[in-house]
Amino acid sequence: MDEPNKKSKIRSTDVQGLKYFKLLAPLLERLHETGTARDRAGNRQLHMDQYCLLILTWLYSPILTSLRGLQQASTLEKVQKKLGVPRTSLGSLSESVQIFDPEPLKKIAQELGDELPSVATRPPSKGFERSTVERLSGLGKRITAVDGSIVKTLARIAKLSWIKVGDGNPTCGYRLHTQFEILRGIPNRIDATSANPKGQADERVVLGQTLESDRLYVMDRGYNKEKLWNAIHNKSSGYICRVRDNFVHQVTEERTLSPADTDVGVLADRVIKPSSKTTTIDHPMRLVVVRATPHTSRGRRAGRKFSSTGPSCNGQIQIVTDQLDIPAELIAEIYRLRWLIELFFRMFKHLLGCRHLLSTKQNGVDIQVYCAIIACMLILLYTGRTPTKRTFEMICLYMVGWASLVELEGHIQKMK
């Protein structure tokens, strides 16, 4: 969680652009009293809004790489003045998250999300044709890609709770179960659980507990579970889910493909019912088969019990759905757009420093996750476009004083 003492200390000149963080203070000030109920003596120095401002500073500043670096930054008069935070100790930063409730921060992230323009109103981007966006918007459901990603922790003490994967190396961290609204380009919610995908941390269990109505959930093979499909359908939502090649079913109707279907690679469109003896499906189903690039797995990575290249593909992707009236070509297109959630994970972990977590405590993980989401949204609100690596790098260069505000604004104006 901290770095060796031989690391150079943070100086005032290393942290720039803090005046813009003052604009966040009114947004976060509602968090000030969070966790102070037990502080009857009024001795608390570090409040939740101040902690979140420090986390946001860490996210945007490449100079700050650890919790100890963040603690050093809090000792600088410039940081204290601009952010309104007190000099704080490493122990206070580490332990305060135990009493900070992340729920109010989640609400702030949701409020910011409501201010974001939808994909339909933003400038066209690669992979998003205007006509396709308009057709998808007309479906009347919020198209939501669902997936999970593991974020490793930095704390050495976490090694005590590492989970052995077979006889290979241990894994450590949290799994971020993410629901990503494709047409808005932002996550709707993220739930953090242990990295071990069992019990209450199983991705299918987490999704089943957080279902909402009027959504169209887009899922990969890991969500292949009839109980989950039933729950989604009975929630007045829908699903589009890839299934394994050995999916057992009986065809009750073979539908004729349109030219638009074949143009996007649809090979078959069938109304089906599972033929497994243990099936529990309680609604009509449909199977859409789409052409894909054949892929052969290169096997297991040495010493690890997971595939390094993913399962093999025979040149076809089988997709099941409870949406009987959506054209097959749109089913294929919606599933293709599921890759946007993978781009979000890449941006989230690589652009905003969330490959590692500053806290091993559940509240600390949640707070950092939602601060990162807020950071992404602020970039999008400021630029009007989805954050890119170049834009984030320019912001970081500005934060360390290597780029001027004029140069940063010039970069944004040149964005396609």
Query: Which three-class secondary structure string do you get for 292-339?
Result: CCCECCCCECCCCCCECCCCCECCEEEEEECCCCCCHHHHHHHHHCCH
Which one is predicted more confidently, 187 or 48? 48
Q: Is the pTM of this model over 0.85?
A: no
Q: What pLDDT is recorded for position 124?
A: 45
Q: What pLDDT is recorded for position 307?
A: 47
Q: Residues 109, 193: one domain? A: yes
Q: Residues 60, 108: one domain? A: no
> Quick one: average pLDDT of 31-39?
80
pLDDT digits (tens, 9 = 90+) for 320-345: 999 999 999 999 999 998 988 887 88
Q: Is the pLDDT of residue 28 over 60?
A: yes
Q: Is the pLDDT of residue 76 over 80?
A: yes
Q: Residues 108, 157: one domain? A: yes
Q: Is the pLDDT of residue 32 over 50?
A: yes
pLDDT digits (tens, 9 = 90+) for 162-182: 334 444 554 456 788 989 888
Asked, for residue 177, whether it belongs to a domain, the answer is yes
Asked, for residue 358, whether it belongs to a domain, the answer is yes
> Quick one: average pLDDT of 193-213?
89
Q: Residues 111, 90: one domain? A: no
Q: Residues 83, 152: one domain? A: no
Average pLDDT, rounded, for the chain: 78
Number of folded domains in the chain? 2
What percent of the chain stands above pLDDT 90?
Answer: 24
Domain boundary, last residue among 98, 115, 135: 98
> Quick one: average pLDDT of 131-147?
84
Q: Residues 45, 187: one domain? A: no
> Quick one: average pLDDT of 190-195?
83
Q: What pLDDT is recorded for position 160?
A: 33
Find out whether 375 and 351 touch, Cβ atoms under 8 Å: no
Asked, for residue 118, whether it belongs to a domain, the answer is yes
Q: What pLDDT is recorded for position 264?
A: 92
Asked, for residue 332, whether it belongs to a domain, the answer is no
Asked, for residue 410, whether it belongs to a domain, the answer is no
- Please give the structure tokens belonging to residue 136: 């998808």
Q: Residues 107, 166: one domain? A: yes
Residue that has been written with the tokens 């071990």 in this structure: 196
Q: What pLDDT is recorded for position 328?
A: 95
Task: Supply the range of the domain harboring residue 132.
Answer: 102-220+338-385
Q: Is the pLDDT of residue 136 over 70?
A: yes
> Quick one: average pLDDT of 272-298?
87
Asked, for residue 237, whether it belongs to a domain, the answer is no
Which one is predicted more confidently, 235 or 393? 235
- Please give the structure tokens belonging to residue 145: 């890609």
Q: What pLDDT is recorded for position 128?
A: 52
Asked, for residue 394, whether it belongs to a domain, the answer is no
Q: Residues 204, 117: one domain? A: yes
pLDDT digits (tens, 9 = 90+) for 205-225: 999 999 999 999 999 999 999
Q: What pLDDT is recorded for position 39?
A: 67
> Quick one: average pLDDT of 52-79?
83
Q: Report how far apart the first and last C-alpha atoms of the chain are (Å, whole number).
A: 39
142-153 and 356-357: which strand pairing?
A: parallel
Query: d(Cα 327, Cα 10) in Å, to the nearest integer?
Result: 57
Which one is predicted more confidently, 210 or 5? 210
Work out the pLDDT band at 6, boundaries 50, 70, 90.
Answer: very low
Q: What pLDDT is recorded for position 200?
A: 86
Which one is predicted more confidently, 153 or 191? 191
pLDDT digits (tens, 9 = 90+) for 376-400: 777 777 776 666 777 778 877 877 7
pLDDT digits (tens, 9 = 90+) for 86-113: 888 888 888 888 889 888 888 888 777 7
> Which has the minimum average pLDDT: 22-31, 246-255, 333-342, 346-355?
346-355
Range picked from 63-72, 240-249, 292-301, 365-374 for highest mean pLDDT: 240-249
Q: Residues 30, 169: one domain? A: no
Partners of residue 146 on adjacent β-strands: 179
The single-letter code of the amino acid at 308 is S
Please report the DSSP string for 353-376 in residue order: STTEES--SHHHHHHHHHHHHHHH
Find out whether 28 and 108 touch, Cβ atoms under 8 Å: yes
Asked, for residue 363, whether it belongs to a domain, the answer is yes
